[in-house]
Amino acid sequence: MSNQADGKSFDWVRAAPWLYTAGLFVLWEAAARLFGLPQYILPAPTVVAGAIVDYWPAIWKNSLQTLYTTTVGFALAVIGGLALGILVGWSRFIYAGLYPLMVGFNAIPKVAVVPILVIWFGIGTIPAILTAFLIAFFPIVVNVATGLATIEPEMEDVLRALGARKMDIMLKVGIPRSMPYFFGSLKVAITLAFVGSVIAETVAANSGLGHMMLAAQSQFNVPLVFAGLVMLAVEGILMYAVMAWIEMRMTGWAHRSALANT
Amino acid sequence: MSSPLVTISDVQMRYGGAEGTLAVENLTLAVDKGEFAAVVGPSGCGKSTLMRLVTGLHIPQQGVVEVAGNRVTKPVSMVGMAFQNPTMLPWRTTLDNILLPLEVVDKHRRRLRANRADYVAKAEKLLETVGLKGFGEKYPWQLSGGMQQRASLCRALIHEPELLMLDEPFGALDSFTREELWCVIRDLHAAQGVTIVLVTHDLREAVFLADRIFVMSARPGRIVREQVVPFSRPRDLELLYQADFNDIVHELRGNIADARKAA
Specify whether A103 is located in the same domain as A20: no
User: Which of A152, A176, A256 lies nearest to residue B87, judging by beta carbons?
Assistant: A152
pLDDT in tens, B42-95: 877 788 788 888 888 888 888 889 888 888 888 887 888 888 888 888 889 999
User: Are A30 and A48 contained in the same domain?
Assistant: no
Q: State the residue range of the domain holding A29.
A: 1-36
CA distance, residue B15 to nearest chain A CA (Å)? 17
Identify whether residues A24 and A91 lie together within a single domain. no
| CATH number of the domain that residue A205 is part of | 1.10.3720.10
User: A176 and A50 in one domain?
Assistant: yes
Alpha carbon B209 to its chain's center: 11
Asked if residue B132 belongs to a domain, the reply is: yes
Test the A interface: residue of B91, B102, B147 with most A CBs within 10 Å: B91
| Banded model confidence at residue A121, pLDDT cuts 50, 70, 90 | very high
Model pLDDT for residues A7-66, shown as the tens digit of each residue: 567 888 889 999 999 999 999 999 998 998 888 888 999 999 999 999 999 999 999 999
Chain B residue at shortest CA distance from A179: B91
Report yes or no: B84 and B172 within 8 Å, Cβ to Cβ. Answer: yes
Do the domain assignments include residue B109? yes
In this structure, is residue A257 part of a structural domain? no
Residues A68 and A20 in one domain: no
* Position B192 in a domain: no
- Number of domains present in the structure of chain A: 2
Provide the shortest C-alpha distance from residue B125 to chain A (in Å). 22
pTM over 0.90: no
By the 10 Å C-beta count (0-12 exposed, 13-18 middle, 19+ buried), B66 is classed as middle
Please judge whether A163 and B104 are an interchain contact, meaning their C-beta atoms are less than 8 angstroms apart. yes
Residues B114-122, mean pLDDT to the nearest whole number: 87
On whether both A116 and A85 belong to a single domain, the answer is yes
The pLDDT score that the predictor gives to residue A79 is 95
Interface predicted TM-score (ipTM): 0.78
Q: Is residue A259 part of a domain?
A: no
Does residue A101 carry a pLDDT above 60?
A: yes
Which residues, numbered 70 to 99 in chain B, qualify as contacts with chain A under a Cβ-Cβ cut-off of 8 Å? 74-77, 79, 81, 83, 85, 87, 89-91
CB pair distance less than 8 Å for A259 and B139: yes
Of residues A240, A121, A112, the one with CA closest to residue A186: A240
Report DSSP letters for A34-64, one per residue: HTT--TTT---HHHHHHHHHHTHHHHHHHHH
What's the pLDDT band for B146 if we cut at 50, 70, 90?
confident
A95 and A189 in one domain?
yes
The answer on A10 and A111 residing in a single domain is no
Q: Is residue B231 part of a domain?
A: no
